[in-house]
Amino acid sequence: MPADHAADALALADDALLAPGIRHVVATLRAGMRAGPDITTMPLGEARACYAAQQQLWRPRVPPGVTIRRFSIATGAGPLPAVAVRAQGGQLSAARVLYLHGGGWVLGSVDTHLAAMARLALGSGTEVVGIDYRLAPEAPFPAALHDCLSAWHWLEADSAGRRLFIAGDSAGANLALAAMLELRGQHATMPAAALLFYGVFGPDCRGESSDRFGSGDYGLSTARMAWFRSNYLQAAGEAGTTDARISPLLADLTGLPPMLIMAAQCDPLADDSRALARRACVAGLVVTEAEQPGLVHGFLQMAAVVPEAATALNDAARYLSARCSAPLG
């Protein structure tokens, strides 16, 4: 079989893995990829606007019944924009979650991820706090990590004994795991648990999942991941790939809290989550591994139009709710 026909056959075989509810989303992603320039070739402002517009394709409307409060957190680098989301009425939430949005350290905001945060808050009965950490390339590594740590310390001081969690998707999951490693080194208060969605944890985007799903036909591509990394690392360069604050999969994970590690099957980063789950188990951590069959990178924002994504997000909310009452330690 000619090489191009073999590639077509492989694509068809991989398409058969897709969950029924997400096939129309993948078709939309492919049409957009073929119709216009990739965001990696756009001026930065246009790339961010394009990313935000793409999220709107999935109709990520904030569900009714939530209260949204916008505020800022004082940090050494200046005010850090933040948003707190919780169910309307009732008593103050017994637990709070620091949520770190994805977008390759370059794109995204609390607004692109607000609907997912609201669904998580409603489903778990917690208050979810998101931050607009500084983005690369204007603020390369370690600026975003420093912002996440500042937000965590603020949350701890502001929470009057309430149980605290950390969560993030994609680059946000990377920042959440890196922040926990830093907190461990500081002998600071750790989250009661972490929720890590389809994160980037390793030093490169190589392996079976990236070979199979990294063309861009399923959304995220290995080329885009390389662009994200180059913007984020900058001065750190190749040396940054061995820094556990950038590639937390390289770290000793001993002493970290329980984790929900939720991957998407049809995602070039799926191998990172699988490897993290293995390493966390070896380190003796309490791990809940929940790979989502047939879903693609970024599925949390698709919950309004993809039933399987909504189910995954509801499962994460139930995990969080259960951890709210689980014994600590």
Q: pTM of this prediction?
A: 0.94
> DSSP label at 221?
B
Q: How far apart are CA 285 and CA 276, in angstroms?
A: 11
> Which candidate, 246, 318, 252, 311, places its Cα nearest to that of 280?
252
Per-residue pLDDT of the chain (329 residues; tens, 9 = 90+): 344 443 444 455 789 999 999 999 999 999 988 888 889 999 999 999 999 999 988 888 899 999 999 999 999 999 999 999 999 986 777 899 999 999 999 999 999 999 999 999 999 999 999 999 999 999 999 999 999 999 999 999 999 889 999 999 999 999 999 999 999 999 999 999 999 999 999 998 888 999 999 999 999 999 999 999 999 998 776 666 789 999 999 999 999 999 999 999 999 999 999 999 999 999 999 999 999 999 999 999 999 999 999 999 999 999 999 999 888 76
CA atoms within 13 A on the CB side of 328: 9
Active-site annotation holder among 93, 109, 170, 273: 170
CB of 93 closer than 8 Å to CB of 159: no
Q: What is the CA radius of gyration of the chain?
A: 19
CB environment 96-110: b (16+ within 10 A), e (fewer): bbbbbbbbbbbbbbb
Residue 242's CB: how many other CB atoms inside 10 A? Answer: 11
State phi, psi for 299 to the nearest 5 degrees.
-65, -20
124 is catalytic: no
CATH assignment of 3-324?
A: 3.40.50.1820
CA 69 to chain centre: 22
CA distance 325 to 316: 15
Q: Within the chain, where are the H helices?
A: 3-15, 23-35, 44-56, 114-124, 143-158, 171-186, 208-213, 222-233, 270-282, 307-325
Query: What b-and-e string marks burial along 266-289, b requiring 16 or more CB atoms within 10 Å of the CB?
Result: bbbbbbbbbebbebbeeeebebbb
* Whether 297 is catalytic: yes
Q: How far apart are CA 127 and CA 221, in angstroms?
A: 33
Instruction: At 97, list the tokens.
Output: 């979650």
Q: Quick one: pLDDT at residue 7? A: 42
The Cα–Cα gap between 155 and 143 comes to 18
Assess whether 101 carries a catalytic annotation. no
Active-site residue, from 267, 271, 272, 273: 267
